[in-house]
Structure 1
């Protein structure tokens, strides 16, 4: 009798492990299939500077005799395609990688590029968040493997003097997340805003779980507008390339929606009542948008309920 129980238990464990393995393999296969048809397309912006489109956040790239700098790297299964697109530009393999923030559609390829020898840089909070389990729209994102972590971090920003240009990396406090950076190629007059800017494809995503706040997104737009001119080329986190005029429109939208929600809150209106007012309806025009009007208004409402973030201090 004990032998039968033991045999049944072994059979059950074997069946369970087989099912688990099968589910894992199926999940991995689905993940790979999801990216099988994705094409990485390059758009040159200036001499030695381009943007790469694929699936996930837009990638900035600077290349020349001093090496290749990549801004964000999309999802891990796309790394070989991204590497091929980099080679097609005539660029060397990636030397430096900067993450605009921690989200997986911008940092999912970190482990692959880290193992291939890239030096990964990001804001202090990006490394801190990647070290632990993070809440996201998909549930919980697991902690990142050590090879994926930024090895150089900064508090306010840094400068890279490479390929005949000055690359300025600047932290923008508590915007899309608490670890956002914008990257400005001074000579090329190109600026990458990460997810502080969604251009013409969705209302903004404010990740409240990651220290994001709509006040910071507006402050970042204002700060960038003070740095760019009519000839500047702006890479948004998502959407097509943008101009200063596009960013002005985005800034004005933020001010309008924030103003309407602030006024309604001062009158004691609930979140549901403010959502019913549809203050973002003018810009909520893409049926496939990642963030629709009600979700954006909720993020604005909850952002404004929080006291303004105090000055962060380096650890």
Structure 2
């Protein structure tokens, strides 16, 4: 028993030391995007802030454990208070710091479906896990159904809902004067997207969301994706082409009577984009084929 207890202690210490070392290594990098808009990159979804005379307008906040580093990074840009925090959707790598930011005085805003999902336990069938409801102080206190306008730091900030894309509560945020669009997880720059079917996401909705973004932006717009690198309209158009080509291929297979497993296991359907390394990150070619099949088969 003593040996067993000793081994458990060693494993516990090793695990926690590993977690601590990982957290210690994470750095929050600040990128000046345009005028008074900045992108913060750390672990989780990309953060955007508008910093000006009215204070800080913030989009997403990654994980709770990173809040001190995020606040320190923001201070390198502005000493002003965080007035508003808008969540692009409900996932924890974008909302994990909500409770901490609320204590800093931020008013939390999101689409109404974000609050609904954060308010109750969420069972995700395809990942076989349950995500516990968020604490009360982490919930958005202002919700919207379609769009919302802010007049803050000398510019118009337009937040708008896109239907059943990455989830059922996605919002994009466009900074008018700075000409910057934050797309949340309706855009994974350079990689296949994660379409959360258990949270109301859909392949067609994801495509439609990108089409809506393209109607709003111009060739000079800077795009902040939910994950990865700063992007442009030209890149987003290429991304849309990729999604539409995969959709066409999968629909052809469905029309031919192919099963979910046959489509999932057929690498030829996504080979063009697998070869361009779209699938060597979070979502593989196999995973995107399965997701499109399930979503389009409905």
TM-score w.r.t. length of structure 1: 0.86
SS, match of residue 231 in structure 2? coil
Q: 1:54: which partner in 2?
A: 42
Q: 1:65: which partner in 2?
A: 53
- Residues 87, 93 of structure 1: 8 Å contact kept: no
Structure 2 CA distance for aligned equivalents of residues 57 and 132 of structure 1: 22
2:179 is aligned with 1:186: no
Q: 1:132: which partner in 2?
A: 120
Q: 2:88: which partner in 1?
A: 100
Q: 2:156: which partner in 1?
A: 166
2:205 is aligned with 1:213: no
Instruction: From 85, 88, 104, give the equivalent of 2:73.
Output: 85
* 1:30 to partner: Cα distance: 5.5
- Residues 267, 285 of structure 2: 8 Å contact kept: no
Structure 1 residues 73 and 295: CA distance shift in structure 2, 3 A: same
SS, match of residue 60 in structure 1? strand
Structure 2 CA distance for aligned equivalents of residues 27 and 139 of structure 1: 22
- Residues 45, 94 of structure 2: 8 Å contact kept: yes
* 1:47 to partner: Cα distance: 1.7
Max radius of gyration: which structure? 1
- List aligned pairs for 1:34-53, cutoff 5 A: 34-53=22-41
Structure 2 CA distance for aligned equivalents of residues 163 and 33 of structure 1: 38
Q: Unaligned regions of 5+ residues in structure 1, if any?
A: 1-15, 307-315
TM-score w.r.t. length of structure 2: 0.91
SS, match of residue 289 in structure 1? coil
Report the count of equivalent residues. Answer: 287
Q: Which moved more, 1:78-87 or 1:287-296?
A: 287-296
SS, match of residue 280 in structure 1? helix
Structure 1 residues 117 and 28: CA distance shift in structure 2, 3 A: farther
Structure 1 residues 32 and 157: CA distance shift in structure 2, 3 A: farther
Q: Unaligned regions of 5+ residues in structure 2, if any?
A: none
Segments of 4+ moved more than 6 angstroms? 25-29
